[in-house]
Every structure is written in C-alpha cells, then in structure tokens.
Structure 1
Amino acid sequence: MNTEALENLNVDAQEILITPASLKSELPLSETAAATVSKSRQIIRDILDGKDQRLFVVVGPCSIHDTKAAMDYAQRLKGLAEKVEDTLHLVMRVYFEKPRTTVGWKGLINDPHLNDTFKIQEGLHIGRELLINICELGLPTSTEALDPISPQYMQDCIAWSAIGARTTESQTHREMASGLSSAVGFKNGTDGSLEVAINAMQSASKPHRFLGINNDGQVAVIHTRGNPYAHVVLRGGSAGPNYDSVHIKLAEAELAKHKLPANIMVDCSHANSNKQPELQPLVMENVTNQILEGNKSIVGLMVESHIHGGNQKIPDNLADLKYGVSVTDGCVGWEDTEAAILDMHNKLKDVLPNRR
C-alpha cells in the first residue's frame, strides 16, 4: 500500500523556517538590550518575592501591527517610566500573536503584511528587531507566549510573559511556561474561575519533559526545571469583573488554600472593563484605593493602551489604516494612560515603601 495516501492529506505545502540560532545571529541582542532584559526580570522576581515594594505595570497596545507606531509609543513610555520608576516598574506590552475564537488576523509574526500572505519568516525578523530596538531604549518588553515554538526565537528579549485565558488550561502551554526564562502570568479562565489558573501555576512550577525544538531548529525532547515565578492574572470573565476587593480576598484565600504565594496581577482590560477600554483608568484607580486601604497582594497591572484610543478594522486598502490605533481589542489613548499612571504614582509613592 502507498503510505503517501495516509499522510499530509490536508497539507498543501511545508516551508523550512530559519532556525532560532540563525535569526539570533542575524539580529543579535546588544549588551544594552540584554542588560535591560536582565535587570527587568530581576526587578519582577524581586517584586514577586516581596523584596521590591514597587508594582510592575505591563502597558501597551493590544497587538503590534505597525512598528513605527510601536517605537513612537515605546519612546513615550520610556519617558513616563523614568518619571515613576521609584514606585512603578513599567514594561511595554509587545504582543505579536493573537489567539482567535474562530478566524481573524493572527498577529505580526504570522501575517506581518496584514493581508493573509503569512510571511512568517519575515514576521520573525520584524518582531525580533522591534523587541531589540525597544530594549535598547532601556524599556523592558512583555508578550503572550502563544505558539510553543516562537519563544525559542524571542524569549531572550522578554522580561515578562503571559499565558492567555484561552490557553491557561492547555497542557502544552503549562509545560512551555515551566521552561520560560521570564516570570509568567496565567490568566483566569474565560468564565472568570481561578481553578484553571491555580492548576496551571502548580503545573508550571514543576519540571516537565515534552517535544519542542532546540536553538538549532532540531526536534528535541525539552527537559525543564519548572518556573517558580508563575502567578495569577485576574481578567474578569463571563460573570463580570473580578478586580474588586471582594474578588481579591477570594483569590487570596484560594491561593493560600493551595499554598501559593499571594501575588495577584489585575488585567484592567477585557471583562474587568466590560470591554470598554476607556474604563481602564477607573480599574487602576480602584486598585490604587485597595492598596491605600491596606491590600498587600496586588503586585501588578496590565493595561491595553495605544497612541490613540479605540480600535479599527483592518481595511482592504491598508493605506486607510489610522496611525496609532489598535486593529484588535480597543485601547485607552496615550493621554489618559499617562494621566492614570501618574495619578497612581502620586498616590502610592509614599505608601508602597511600607507596604510589606
């Protein structure tokens, strides 16, 4: 029997991709960029360990589709980061991969030209170069670890990683997270429950062995040590927001029940803002007030922010794209972002040093 009739029946073609080692050789991490990543990773670890009293704030576009606008945003954020660094450690959200419930644009790496041409190798080059350029500003970066292969190409540039609500329950992503070099935040499930995130944190903290690729692009059995810096990210769910003081107390109790550190990050977007991005500053204000009232478990925030607020659909004519406006989830604009972060800094700068 012809075995070709049994394999790849639904595969049109296979492209050989550049290896991680080759991409890193073409686009090496400079000493300045490497120092930015290393310093930020240690700050975040120290915050999670209770050694650093600051909060870390992951802020930036829902997704990156325009590298010029991304660098414009990064330069603005770098200036703001310097103003608030005694209280808030700002990390730019640089998301290249977008999970989809059905279909849609999958992000800059998969489709860098936004036209379904899927020039993935070009996307890897564009994405890595952008991360390096941002890190060379002295601004650390974060991303969502979605594809289990892409961290080999990008993780050396990343200070903090997220596992999204749709993938927190995935064994593949829990195993991958156990080997990530950065701290990793697991979002609660789309229904708002904490159980999947707590299970994920416990799984990721343990060693795993799974199939992946090595730096030379060879299929390999990956042996991980486990990631001790996994933590929960509250992003709300189908039942509504979960950032208020009652939900925070319930989350603290669940973490304690499972003997996990009381480290809670609040995602100000998604269900926590009822998918109205302009409400994110109100979530930030509520979190600030909880800390002023004695909360000790909230260690970080996520904010979806861009140069201009709202979002837009990808037009047929890409020349019609509005500059600095998200093509995925809606974002809060820069002016409101800056005002909210400065307000948080002013209210907490004398409180956080004595918090723990």
Structure 2
Amino acid sequence: MTDLKADDLNIEAIETLMTPKALKAQMPLEGSALESVRSARQTIFNILDRKDPRLFVVVGPCSIHDPEAALDYAARLKKLAEEVQDTLYIVMRVYFEKPRTSVGWKGLINDPFMDDTFQIEEGLKLGRKLLLDIVSMGLPASTEALDPISPQYLQDLIAWSAIGARTTESQTHREMSSGLSSAVGFKNGTDGGLMVAVNAMQSVSHPHRFLGISKGGQVAVVRTKGNPYAHVVLRGGSAGPNYDSVHVAQAEEELRKGGVSTNIMIDCSHANSNKDPSIQSLVLKDVTHQILEGNQSIIGVMLESNINFGNQKIPADLKELKYGVSVTDACIDWAETERSIKEMAAKLKDVLPQRQTP
C-alpha cells in the first residue's frame, strides 16, 4: 500500500465554526431591534414600489475595521437621519467583507484583528454584535453579500444588500440573492456594462435550488422563492462614470428592454468619482439636479463616508491607525457628509412627493 492520496493536496487545515443557530442564540435579534429591521425592509420595499416618495441613501464607511468608531459614526448618522427623514431614508453601510482584485485585507469577518490570524469566528461575533448595536438604535444597516455562507449568520439584521461589480455576473451570488430577505442592488460590471446586472435581475426574480448550509451548520439544498426587490446600482466602470442624465436614460432603456425594474440607484463613489472622494458631493449634486429636472427612475444613492477624510494603509503597529479613517477606499468626512445630505434633502423636499412612477 502507498500513502498517495487524491484530495486536499493544497489544504493545510479545516477548522469547524460555530453554527449560525448557535451564534444567533448567543446574540438574538428580538424586541425593538427585530421590529426595527422589519420596518426598515418594508420602508425600502415601499420606496421601490413607489408607495413611499422618499429616496433611500446608503451611506457609511467603505469597510468597518473599528467597531468603536463605527458606533460613533452610527450615532451621528442616526441624528442626521431623524433630521432629514421627511425626504430621505438613511441606511448605514456596514460592510464586513471586501472583494480583492488580487490580495489584501478582506474585511472584519475574515481577519478581525488585522494581523493575518484570520480568526473568522471572532469576526462573525464582532460583526453580529455591531449590527445588533446599530439596529437597536433604530438605524437600518446594509452590507455587501460576498461570501455565500455568512448570510446565515448575519442577514437577519440587514435591511438592504449589495452585490458588487465583481460578483454580479456570478451564478452563486445570483442564486444566493434570490433567497435574501432584503432588497438587493446589483452593480453594473467593472467595465461599466449594464447587461450583467440586467441578467442578474432577471435571474434573481426566479426560484433557485443550490448547495448551501442550514442554520444548524449542515450542508443542505437551499430552495428559494425568488427576490422581487432587485434593482440596478450604477457605479461607473473602466469606460468612465455613468451617473449623468444620458447614461441614466440609456440604463432606463436597457432595463425596460430586459423586462426588469427601472428603479436606479446611483453610487457616488467608485468609478463615478474616479476614486476621488471629494468628487462624491458633486455627483450627489448632479443626481439632485436630475430629479429636479424631472427624472423619475432614481430611487436611491450611495456614499462612502467616514468620520475623517481619506484613507490609510494598515500599519505594522495597529496603535498607529488613525481614528475614523478608512483602511480601504477613501471616504468623505463627517462634516461633508452632513452638509451634502442636508443640502439634497432641502432641495428635494417639495419635489419628491410629486414624482410619478416611470
């Protein structure tokens, strides 16, 4: 006999995680926090159904690396949300998973201590605790659904989900999204093309069957009903920005031809700002102007924002991290966030209730 084998040749180890059921038992969603999530989802559904004339605004850090700073940001955002609630519905970006083009820090869940120890179970615990704290404030939370397993641990706390430009074309993510309990926004492709998002929206509205895990941690066949609340997120691409009125009109036409919802969300960051955070406010002004000029399709916007401006590299000594500064994409600071959102709310206050369904 020989010791030759054919599987796990490149596997160093397999570590068993606590089950989704066990984590939720430790940190249950209940009471006012549960009602907050249910109410937030319904509000977003109503906006997408044009029963609520407000825009929803997904705003917050590119990624979460410091839960303390995230709660500081959330408290500020909650106060702002109350001030503009007649016109804008504020949802906080609480992104724990970051897709990487090649290599790099993959987010709080994957490497919560930012030291390459990859203590994923601790990351899941930190993530769930933070989300519970945020929704307990009455502030809705959003995230990017990247890993197909983590939604079983966290998705019950999420009011709106994004599928990123790199994964909109993925069959795995389309199938997963068909079973998400929240509305889901599909970003256009990294080249700026819209067809991958149109195809994704067609796919996600239908039932699917695929391999996943149960809340008890068992491998299972997941059978979904289909998600009726998918929409497109324009984020620009390698060809340039696509937030202007011409690109929006072209998107409306492609969405109509594809037989899917013409609801459009504008991502003010990423390629739409050429990765320059200072341009985000200008994009927001342009979107506001489009609505003032009669646009009917834009139902939401997204901003990458943090307590302080810009971004930073992760230092070898984590004590050198600057407070409230992104470690991934550069963000606008809190002062600019507050100013821009209040300005948009003031300009659109009397206009949004008059909009018609496109």
Q: Which of the five TM-score ranges fits, normalised by the shorter chain?
A: over 0.9
Aligned partner of 2:64 in structure 1 is 64
Distance in 1 between the 2:3 and 2:132 partners? 45
Amino acid at match of 1:143: T
Identity %: 69
Distance in 2 between the 1:160 and 1:203 partners? 18
Aligned partner of 1:99 in structure 2 is 99
Displacement of 1:4: 6.2
Aligned partner of 2:120 in structure 1 is 120
Scaled by the length of structure 1, the TM-score of the pair is 0.99
* 1:95-174 correspondence to structure 2 within 5 Å: 95-174=95-174
Aligned partner of 1:77 in structure 2 is 77
Distance in 2 between the 1:337 and 1:260 partners? 32
Aligned partner of 1:35 in structure 2 is 35
Distance in 2 between the 1:108 and 1:193 partners? 30
Distance in 2 between the 1:15 and 1:256 partners? 47
* 1:253-332 correspondence to structure 2 within 5 Å: 253-332=253-332
Distance in 1 between the 2:83 and 2:58 partners? 16
Aligned in 2, Cα 1:317/1:53: closer, same or farther, shift over 3 Å?
A: same
For the residue of structure 2 that corresponds to 1:15, the secondary structure is: coil
Query: What is the aligned-residue RMSD (CA, Å)?
Result: 0.9
Runs of 4+ in 1 over 2 A off after TM superposition: 1-4
Distance in 1 between the 2:62 and 2:187 partners? 15
Long gaps (5+) in structure 2: none
Displacement of 1:100: 0.5
Distance in 2 between the 1:318 and 1:255 partners? 46
For the residue of structure 1 that corresponds to 2:32, the secondary structure is: helix
Displacement of 1:162: 0.2
Displacement of 1:284: 0.5
Displacement of 1:166: 0.2
Q: CA deviation digits over 1:85-106, x for unaligned, max 9? A: 0110000000000000111000
Distance in 2 between the 1:145 and 1:15 partners? 22
Aligned partner of 1:86 in structure 2 is 86
Q: Is the 8 A contact 1:61 1:305 kept in 2?
A: yes
Aligned partner of 1:355 in structure 2 is 355
Distance in 2 between the 1:24 and 1:70 partners? 21
Displacement of 1:7: 1.1
Distance in 2 between the 1:166 and 1:259 partners? 23
Distance in 2 between the 1:50 and 1:22 partners? 38
Aligned partner of 2:227 in structure 1 is 227
Q: CA deviation digits over 1:120-165, x for unaligned, max 9? A: 0000000000000000000000000000000000000000000000
Aligned partner of 2:333 in structure 1 is 333
Displacement of 1:5: 1.0
Aligned in 2, Cα 1:31/1:6: closer, same or farther, shift over 3 Å?
A: same
Distance in 2 between the 1:261 and 1:226 partners? 15
Q: Is the 8 A contact 1:30 1:136 kept in 2?
A: no
* 1:36-51 correspondence to structure 2 within 5 Å: 36-51=36-51
Scaled by the length of structure 2, the TM-score of the pair is 0.98
Amino acid at match of 2:82: E
Distance in 2 between the 1:322 and 1:292 partners? 39
Displacement of 1:29: 1.0
Displacement of 1:30: 2.9
For the residue of structure 1 that corresponds to 2:221, the secondary structure is: strand
Distance in 2 between the 1:40 and 1:285 partners? 26
Query: Could you tell which deviates more after superposition, 255-264 or 342-351?
Result: 255-264
Q: CA deviation digits over 1:243-290, x for unaligned, max 9? A: 000000000001111121210000000010011011101111000000
Distance in 2 between the 1:258 and 1:136 partners? 39
